Amino acid sequence: MNKILILVVEDDTPVRNLITTTLRTHNYNYLTAANGQEAIMEASSYNPDIILLDLGLPDLDGVEVIQKIRTWSNTPIIVISARSEDSDKIEALDAGADDYLTKPFSVEELLARLRVTQRRIAFMQNNVMSNSVFTNGSLRIDYAAGRAYLGDTELHLTPIEYKLLCLLSKNVGKVLTHTYITQKIWGSNWDNNVASLRVFMATLRKKLETKPNSPQYIQTHIGVGYRMVRVE
Ligand code: CA
């Protein structure tokens, strides 16, 4: 039995019904909202575990809804958008969304994203208890010592590579945009320096990934950013 409560924000009734039917079939509890104001009210009253949010709502822009909710809550938000343009996804992710699904999406895709998000929630809860060492597959980061290991071998990272790895690990499961990463690593002066970021990411991957061309730990989201995935 799944005790997770999901808030479904979608004004398009057939799509909303598809989502709620899927959730019901897989034993998720859910609430629904058909516009932005309702979404904000339900999010504040019921404190859902995950929010599925359509970006094109009749009253408020989905990005505004994310900004409002983020003023008090860190609940994972998965954006669902008919707009396939990268700029909308990026705006939503920069506003604090965790992941995105592009319409049309399959039921399997939706369930997969929910599982990823649930693993992220579980990981974050466990990690609060022992937050000085991060492990993921054979990767281990000892934040206190400032060292990273792959199996028994220490990774020899430059300070920037190490900062990048820490940033991705602390947000494991979440898509981080180019802007977010460059601002965290270099500060706002380096805004949009995506080319430099690519170079550092390539050298980090060479050290981290067994096969840099089919990376296991760090996913590329073309035109959007990067995500560290949980490795079993
Ligand atoms: Ca819509």
CA of 58 to the centre of ligand 1 (A): 7
CA of 11 to the centre of ligand 1 (A): 5
CA of 17 to the centre of ligand 1 (A): 13
Global pTM?
A: 0.78
CA of 90 to the centre of ligand 1 (A): 18
Q: Going from the first residue of the chain to its last (232 residues), give the mean pLDDT of each consecutive group of 10, the final group possibly shorter.
A: 85 96 95 97 94 95 94 92 79 93 92 91 69 89 92 95 94 90 78 81 93 88 91 80
CA of 56 to the centre of ligand 1 (A): 4
CA of 123 to the centre of ligand 1 (A): 31
CA of 219 to the centre of ligand 1 (A): 28
pLDDT of residue 35: 97
CA of 61 to the centre of ligand 1 (A): 10
CA of 82 to the centre of ligand 1 (A): 8
pLDDT of residue 82: 81
CA of 220 to the centre of ligand 1 (A): 27
List phi, psi (to 5°) of 37.
-60, -45
CA of 32 to the centre of ligand 1 (A): 13
pLDDT of residue 1: 44
CA of 26 to the centre of ligand 1 (A): 24
CA of 38 to the centre of ligand 1 (A): 14
Q: What is the spatial distance between Cα 175 and Cα 43, in angstroms, rounded to a whole number?
A: 22
pLDDT of residue 129: 53
